[in-house]
Amino acid sequence: MARVAIVTGGTRGIGEAISLALKEKGITVAANFAGDESKAKSFTEKHGIQSFRWNVADFDACQEGVRRVEDALGPVDIVVNNAGITRDGTLLKMSYEAWKDVIDTNLGGCFNMAKATFSGMKDRGWGRIVNIGSINGQAGQYGQVNYAAAKSGIHGFTKALAQEGARFGITVNAIAPGYIDTDMVAAVPAEVLAKIVAKIPVGRLGQAHEIARGVAFLCSDDAGFVTGSTLSINGGQHMY
């Protein structure tokens, strides 16, 4: 029987690429989304992957959403916490709401989804949780105290939960993407983007499928001895 995965934010950008990569590995994928019903419908029609709507920042919605996925597809073995938002601004200009929204979605969503699925993985003796962090959670970024804090928190969350899951056959890892050619990055002004690319040793933006390949490996049986790790996929932009 195929394993079942939930990919949050799984209908567009990096999330879409992850959903497709897992499907190609024979995994049954549920793609979570929070907003655009029409785009999610188009995604499902195009790729044959079911989509499910809920807000990962809402604890109760995650509990109910996971129940809906399990009723439709079976027990959840894999969670990829990819959903994320930005509300950029310097601290002096940032509202509390902009801080809270990003923390609740990007970091809180990881807790909410793990809380909804960890027990089942433990009972079955196998699980994979992959959290999508960011180069900006590793190195920081001007005007992103909320986003950088949330993504940095993901890396610590990953290490701590990995220690809890190891004896139950559950691995917990993170991927820290650099600048990837997605709609979010495309919105960056051209002159700013040129300066970013100039700092990437390989000389280009990353592609969503390059992140997805890393996720697919970490979700596989072959990655059973990898846990508590952060895989940096950033073209050499940040090394440590």
The CATH number that applies at residue 51 is 3.40.50.720
Domain count, the chain: 1
The predicted structure's pLDDT at residue 127: 98
84 located within any domain: yes
238 located within any domain: no
Q: How many residues in total does the chain contain?
A: 240
CB atoms within 10 A of CB 50: 16
83-87, 126-130, 185-189: least confidently modelled range: 185-189
Q: Which residue has the higher pLDDT, 137 or 76?
A: 76
Which is catalytic among the residues 96, 142, 147, 240?
Answer: 147
Q: Looking at residues 144-169, what average pLDDT do you find?
A: 97
The partner residues of 28 in beta bridges, in order of sequence, read: 4
Q: Looking at residues 109-125, what average pLDDT do you find?
A: 98
179 located within any domain: yes
Q: Looking at residues 50-70, what average pLDDT do you find?
A: 98
Res 187 pLDDT > 90: no
Token pair of 159 as six digits: 């290490």
Q: Looking at residues 160-189, what average pLDDT do you find?
A: 93
> In sequence order, which ranges of the chain are alpha helices (DSSP H)?
13-24, 37-47, 59-73, 96-102, 108-124, 135-139, 145-165, 183-186, 190-198, 208-218
Q: Looking at residues 212-218, what average pLDDT do you find?
A: 98
- Measured distance CA(230)–CA(240) in Å, rounded: 11
How does residue 182 score in pLDDT terms, banded at 50, 70 and 90? confident
Strand ranges across the sheet with 4-7: 50-53, 28-33, 4-7, 78-81, 127-132, 170-177, 230-233
198 located within any domain: yes
216 located within any domain: yes
Domain span at residue 124?
4-232
- Measured distance CA(176)–CA(138) in Å, rounded: 8
239 located within any domain: no
Is the separation of the CB atoms in 198 and 29 below 8 Å? no
Q: What is the average pLDDT value for the chain, to the nearest integer?
A: 95
Q: What percent of the chain has pLDDT over 70?
A: 100
Q: Is 179 a catalytic residue?
A: no
19 located within any domain: yes
Res 1 pLDDT > 80: no
Q: What are phi and psi of 126, to 5 degrees?
A: -160, 135
Res 108 pLDDT > 80: yes
24 located within any domain: yes
